[in-house]
Chains A and B, each alone.
Chain A
Amino acid sequence: MVKALVTLCNIFFFVPDLFAQALIPTLYIDPGHGGTAPGYPGAYIADYDEKDINLEVALMLKDNLDQLHYTSYMSRDTDIFISNLNRAQEAMDLEAGALISIHHNSDPDPSVQHTLALYSSFPYVQHDPFLTPRKITDRLAHKCALRIDQFFRHGLSNDSPRGLRDSDTLITVLVRTSMPSALTEASFISDSTEEEDFYYRLTFHQEKEAAAIANAFFSWTLGQGFGKVDYAYAGQTPIDSHKVRVHDYLNDEFSINDTTFAPYLGVWNLDYLILIQALNFNQNGYGYQFHH
């Protein structure tokens, strides 16, 4: 039984690799701020600011994608200032398939802690009817928020839907690009514990966040299904139950409509990545495969 599971896991381990070679959705990774723009200062540790954490996570995300042969680009890989206008222009010129901007949050109240992802519904070229449909972009952001929350367990922000916010015209890299894009605010570094976790690296915070975003990107790229797998339940499900509980987000606005049971083929648990792939998922007339 264990051997069969391991074999199954190995098969699924190569799934993203094969898909990566067959697809060309490149990711533009944007570590926010940099150089003379430090972003939010950390709570207590001097000279360790948001820009440093953003870059560390971004480099690890790039490494994750490289290992799976996904093509990705970075707006910066050192501590330099690049204007958001130039970042947006570069992403567009590279014709990246998606853009994820990595940021971290701060609040005067050091007890505030949650995960948030932003998208923009603002049509930059205001009268161009051929813009990226909003639902593509906000689903990328929502997947990022969900995955980061699964890894960090800080809880999602109270925005509606939870963990997701429309930045409207505010965020340049989201507004001035036409590809699906998201900006992640994984956690609050004004929380001294959180800042220390990033700084001392004892809890692998950077690795967790990078893996979460990579997982979100894979999920968004590979799957046409949009749902949140109840990982706690799935992880504890006996292998012979052949059930995975899936919260359905297939309808827009991300309301949880139903609890659905679908046959699954395996549970992949590698380091911090959890991949659950349920095939033949079919509900409300949606006949496509469901990947997570």
Chain B
Amino acid sequence: MLMHRAFISRRRGLLGLSLGLLLAFLPVNAAFSLDYVIKEVIEVGEADFVPFLGPVKWSPDGTMIAFTKNGVIKVSDTLGNIREVARLDMGVHRMDWVSNDKIAVQLKGYTGQGMATENRLSLIDVTTGIESPVHEYKTTPDYKTTPGVARASGPYKTVEGNLFYTLTSSNSRGQTPTVERKSFSETKLESIGNNHFLRWSDSGLYMVRLDESDSTWLVSKPFRKMGLFTKVSHDLSYALDGGQLFRLRDSVRIVLDTLLGPVPENTHSCDVSFFSFNPVADEVLFTIVCEGGVHESEFETFRIATFDCNSFKLSIIDSLISMSNCVAPAYSPDGMKIAFQSKGKVYFLKRSLN
């Protein structure tokens, strides 16, 4: 019993139901179940593992990935041919593909004077490496921005898969900052209102139009604390927040981090990170983060896994490909390939349908 408790977080179902009871209510729906088989693993090359940048980024057509190494943005095709795109003068804070030939980056650098920073949101041409700034601002040593200059943040992805960024007005005394969401592509400005982002409120998860003119309720909120990285599946049938998978039509919840054993020796807890839905199937891809020890003896281990939402099949990929410490996986747009990192290198995992 003690061992059982040790590896299960205290997350529980909406009604405090145990996982086993929840599973009993789940009918199998094979409509979107796809049976994948691992074909091969290809080593791409060295890359920084930067948690806040997230996994490597797939281009919209699935032919390239982008990642950073030593502050340099690089791309690779699916055969592992790497090319340097741009050397930047500041640290990359966020990054994603806007189109097959442009990458949006948020750059930030501390100047060394208090909390003074330089910040720039830019588009980088993947072919030429030319950087086109979209918005720039600075903060003073006490973290003020120049009056009238907005802060830019992004890129973020809408539920529909389009990129946008936010402009937050300078927060002067007594004023509530205003947030404006904008598209990187001028031609999409008119339609950006038809895109949505996800937001938790007291009554649950909502899909909100970017212009905040309308919203759709998706699922009840089971806990006070929810993560920032909630994702929904391609057909809006599931939502995923950390270790919690929600089936939206009936709010049934599966707690993924109750399925993670066996775990490394001396582990006290596990959590789920870097999670995403298969773009074409009801399958979840995530990193299992296990921690052990306390303070001076702390350690953490990573593994990556897939979970079929319909058949409840959990596959620990590390053990299937005889690798260890795999982390930060990302689906290709067709769901057939998975890019991930392990011990400072990027790999492709190619799959086929059984």
Contacts and interface: CB of A to CB of B under 8 A. Distances in A.
B71 A94 contact: no
B234 to A, nearest CB: 23
Contact of B52 (A25, A40, A88, A221): A88
Contact of A93 (B110, B141, B229, B298): B229
Contacts of B228: 90, 93-94
B105 interface: no
Contacts of A88: 51-52
B11 A37 contact: no
Contacts of B110: 130-133, 136, 178
Contact of A25 (B54, B115, B153): B115
Contact of B295 (A18, A93, A103): A103
A180 B115 contact: yes
B268 A36 contact: yes
Chief secondary structure at chain A's binding surface:
loop
Interface residues of A, number: 54
Contacts of B7: 36
Interface string B48-64: 10111010000000000
A45 interface: no
Contact of A80 (B11, B273, B298): B11
A180 B90 CA distance: 17
Contacts of A170: 296, 298
Contacts, number: 150
Interface string B155-195: 00000000000000001111101000000000000000000
B10 A81 contact: yes
A79 B10 contact: yes
Chief secondary structure at chain B's binding surface:
loop
A129 B115 CA distance: 16
B164 to A, nearest CB: 15
Interface string A57-99: 0000000000000000010111111111110111011110100
Nearest to A20: B173
Contact of A92 (B52, B68, B112): B52
B225 A76 contact: yes
A136 B6 CA distance: 38
Interface in B265-305: 268-271, 273, 289, 291, 294-296, 298, 300
B32 interface: no
A176 B328 CA distance: 14
Given A78-B225, A80-B225, A85-B289, A130 B143 contact: no
A178 B273 contact: no
How big is chain B's contact interface, by range?
Answer: 35 or more
A17 to B, nearest CB: 10
Interface in B292-338: 294-296, 298, 300
B145 interface: yes
A1 interface: no
Contact of B291 (A21, A84, A125): A84
A23 interface: yes
Contacts of A83: 269-271, 273, 289, 291, 300
A23 B71 contact: no
Interface in B112-164: 112, 114-115, 141-145, 151, 153
Interface string A116-145: 000000001111111111001000000000
A22 B224 CA distance: 29
B115 A92 contact: no
A86 B229 CA distance: 10
Contacts of B54: 89
Nearest to A180: B115
B91 A178 contact: yes
Interface of A: 18, 21-25, 35-37, 39-40, 74, 76-86, 88-90, 92-95, 97, 103, 105, 124-133, 136, 170-172, 176-178, 180, 221-222, 224
